[in-house]
A = this chain, B = another copy of it.
Amino acid sequence: MKPDLLVVGSIGFDSVKTPFGSVSRGIGGSGIYASLAARFFCKPALVGCIGTDFSHAFLSQLESVGINLDGLQSSPKPSLHWHAHYGFDVNEAVTDKVELNALEDLQPRIPDSFAGIEFVFLANENPQKQKKFVEAFSKRPKRVVADTMNHWIERQPTDVLHMVLVSDLVTMNEAEARQLFKTPQLLKAAQEILKLNSEFALIKKGENGAVLFSKHGFFAVPGYPLETIKDPTGCGDSFAGALTGFLANQNDFSARTLRKAMVTASAVASFNAEDFSSKRLLEITKKDIRNRVREFREIVRF
């Protein structure tokens, strides 16, 4: 079946310590989290670059849950390997080491069979490469959602601003938005995003949920009160993947649909934190997500 969402992101290993345990070489990477989250809502295709040491059994598992891998690239190097730890504040990962490896070889190339895909999610990457992926489409996709991170904001702020300008929605977190627009006030940062040809400014707030600014009004979804948090790695990517998957499924980009997409994406991201790496995303069902979305309705009722 033809995919209706293209996810471009990294594929590799996470070695992570949190206050609740640790994992060594867990399978992760933004592309994995985002596509696993998106597949509950649409038919995603994942474009990324694996290394020689990546698990073929896991690739089969991705395909078996409905993720198209026709655009997968491979490199003679080992796979990306991210080493990090979380302290008392689980909102903030401290990167200890990044071995980019195969990720360096990712080419902005899209199979011809993907022409006509209308929704694209570009996970955090060098903003110049993100832009090249948009340009790799013969016809610009209908909606481009992109993520970024402090690494790029510090090194290539102009390129990041340009990426905000060319994409429809950027899923920054609050520290990144404040940093990019040099303001302590989130609302001011959001207003700057809206000036960059964006109908919406979506800001992720980690365990405090996410907010949406636009001329259609302000929206806030709170964080879900997790009984168990083991590893927040990939929550931002799961959020963005589920969000874009939901939008692709609805084939709509209105404020109303975005609100629903944000709540649904928050539900999916909250599940992701319940276990290490992408383990929970492979266990949960659509029904689990629906139930949690229903809980969100109760959480904000007054």
A→B interface (CB under 8 Å): 19, 88-90, 178, 184-187, 205, 207-209, 211, 213, 217-223, 225-227, 229, 259-260, 262-263, 296-302
Distance in angstroms from A210 CB to nearest chain B CB is 10
Pairwise interchain contact B184-A19, C-beta atoms closer than 8 A: yes
Contacts A299-B218, A302-B219 given; does A90 touch B184 at CB 8 Å: yes
Contacts A205-B208, A209-B222, A211-B222 given; does A227 touch B187 at CB 8 Å: yes
* Residue in B217, B263, B296 whose beta carbon sits within 8 Å of that of A298 in the complex: B217
* Residue in B185, B205, B209, B225 whose beta carbon sits within 8 Å of that of A186 in the complex: B225
Pairwise interchain contact A88-B299, C-beta atoms closer than 8 A: no
Task: Please give me the 3 A-B residue pairs with the lowest Cβ-Cβ distance, nearest first.
Answer: A220-B222, A300-B300, A208-B208
Chain B residues in 8 Å Cβ range of A299: 217-220
Pairwise interchain contact B302-A259, C-beta atoms closer than 8 A: yes
Task: Please list 14 pairs of residues, one from A and one from B, whose beta carbons are closer than 8 Å in the complex, sorted by A's number.
Answer: A19-B184, A185-B226, A186-B207, A187-B226, A208-B208, A217-B299, A220-B223, A220-B300, A221-B222, A222-B222, A259-B301, A259-B302, A296-B302, A300-B300
Docked Cα-Cα span, A187 to B229, in Å, equals 10
Most chain B C-beta atoms within 10 Å of own C-beta, residue among A208, A213, A219, A229: A208
Pairwise interchain contact B185-A263, C-beta atoms closer than 8 A: no
Docked Cα-Cα span, A296 to B218, in Å, equals 9
* Residue in B184, B227, B302 whose beta carbon sits within 8 Å of that of A260 in the complex: B302
**A219-B300, A262-B302 given. 18 additional CB < 8 A pairs?**
A88-B184, A89-B184, A90-B184, A185-B226, A186-B207, A187-B226, A187-B227, A205-B208, A209-B220, A213-B225, A219-B301, A220-B222, A220-B225, A220-B299, A221-B222, A259-B302, A263-B302, A300-B300
Chain B residues in 8 Å Cβ range of A187: 225-227
Chain B residues in 8 Å Cβ range of A218: 225, 298-299
A91's closest neighbor in chain B, by CB?
Answer: B184
Chain B residues in 8 Å Cβ range of A227: 187
A89's closest neighbor in chain B, by CB?
Answer: B184
Distance in angstroms from A263 CB to nearest chain B CB is 5
Distance in angstroms from A101 CB to nearest chain B CB is 32
Chain B residues in 8 Å Cβ range of A263: 302
Docked Cα-Cα span, A266 to B19, in Å, equals 32
A302's closest neighbor in chain B, by CB?
Answer: B259
Pairwise interchain contact A211-B186, C-beta atoms closer than 8 A: no
Chain B residues in 8 Å Cβ range of A225: 186-187, 211, 213, 218, 220
Distance in angstroms from A239 CB to nearest chain B CB is 15
Docked Cα-Cα span, A50 to B89, in Å, equals 40
Docked Cα-Cα span, A88 to B184, in Å, equals 5
Docked Cα-Cα span, A19 to B220, in Å, equals 25
A206's closest neighbor in chain B, by CB?
Answer: B208
